[in-house]
């Protein structure tokens, strides 16, 4: 849901910035790589230390590269399969780094094995949710379903909660509970989304197989009669 509306809004807002980068000779691939490196630094340097506010600030700055690089490619007329592949692959790397950062915190100073496990589940399920759509599309299915918690929702829920939870270090009491709540929400939502996509792929594949059987049935019988 957020993918549909937020992406369109921020694409319009970031279009002038994308045009400026093109005039400066920056390539879309460079923006993709720098953005991913920034997200990884924010997540794997700040989060394991419990610096959720500053980590979220750094990640938020760099996460918009996911919109800027595609915008630049369209403006320059250089959209390519390689660019799409690189962007999608590094998205998975960045997402994994964010939840790995949470897991490292809870495995260390955060001292909560259950929440560490929940963060690892969020990491793994997010990767599998993305894979199910990519794999379904690779075998010719539309995978026409809007999941409950897709990538945009996972990022917004977890990063907003992390940023607010980080205010605990500035003296805001009780607010650190938001991050555990967000991780549980993302974990449950990702599981529901995974089930939605698997069910959709199963239905669409059955429909596609039935359509192919119906189309080839008469021809098959006819060729057998000719023999």
> Catalytic residue positions?
91
Q: Do the Cβ atoms of 186 and 122 come closer than 8 Å?
A: yes
Q: Residues annotated as binding site for Mg(2+)?
A: 66, 69, 87, 91
Q: Residues annotated as binding site for a CDP-1,2-diacyl-sn-glycerol?
A: 29-32, 70, 74, 80
Other Cβ atoms within 10 Å of 101 Cβ, number: 25
Count CA atoms within 13 Å of residue 47 on its CB side. 30
Helix (H) or strand (E) run with residue 39 in it: helix 28-41
Give Cα 208 distance to the centre of its chain.
28
Q: Do the Cβ atoms of 148 and 189 come closer than 8 Å?
A: yes
Residue with tokens 């390519």: 80
Residue of 97, 98, 76, 95 whose CA lies nearest to 30? 76
Other Cβ atoms within 10 Å of 126 Cβ, number: 26
Give the integer Cα–Cα distance in Å for 195 and 205: 15
**Residue 3, helix vs strand vs coil:** helix
């Amino acid at each position: 849901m957020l993918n549909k509306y937020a992406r369109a809004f921020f694409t319009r807002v970031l279009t002038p910035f994308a045009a400026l980068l093109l005039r400066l000779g920056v390539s879309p691939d460079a923006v993709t790589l720098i953005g991913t490196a920034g997200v990884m630094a924010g997540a794997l340097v700040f989060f394991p230390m419990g610096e959720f506010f500053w980590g979220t600030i750094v990640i938020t700055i760099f996460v918009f590269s996911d919109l800027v690089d595609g915008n630049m490619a369209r403006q320059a007329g250089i959209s390519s399969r390689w660019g799409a592949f690189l962007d999608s692959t590094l998205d998975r790397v960045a997402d994994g780094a964010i939840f790995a950062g949470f897991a490292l915190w809870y495995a260390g100073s955060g001292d909560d094995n259950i929440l560490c496990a929940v963060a690892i589940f969020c990491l793994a399920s997010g990767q599998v949710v993305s894979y199910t759509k990519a794999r379904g599309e690779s075998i010719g299915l539309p995978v026409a379903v809007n999941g409950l918690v897709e990538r945009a929702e996972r990022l917004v829920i977890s990063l907003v909660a992390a940023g607010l939870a980080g205010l605990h270090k500035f003296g805001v009491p009780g607010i650190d509970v938001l991050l555990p709540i967000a991780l549980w929400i993302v974990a449950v939502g990702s599981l529901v989304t995974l089930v939605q996509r698997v069910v959709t792929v199963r239905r669409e594949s059955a429909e596609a197989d039935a359509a192919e059987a119906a189309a080839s049935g008469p021809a098959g019988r006819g060729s057998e009669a000719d023999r």
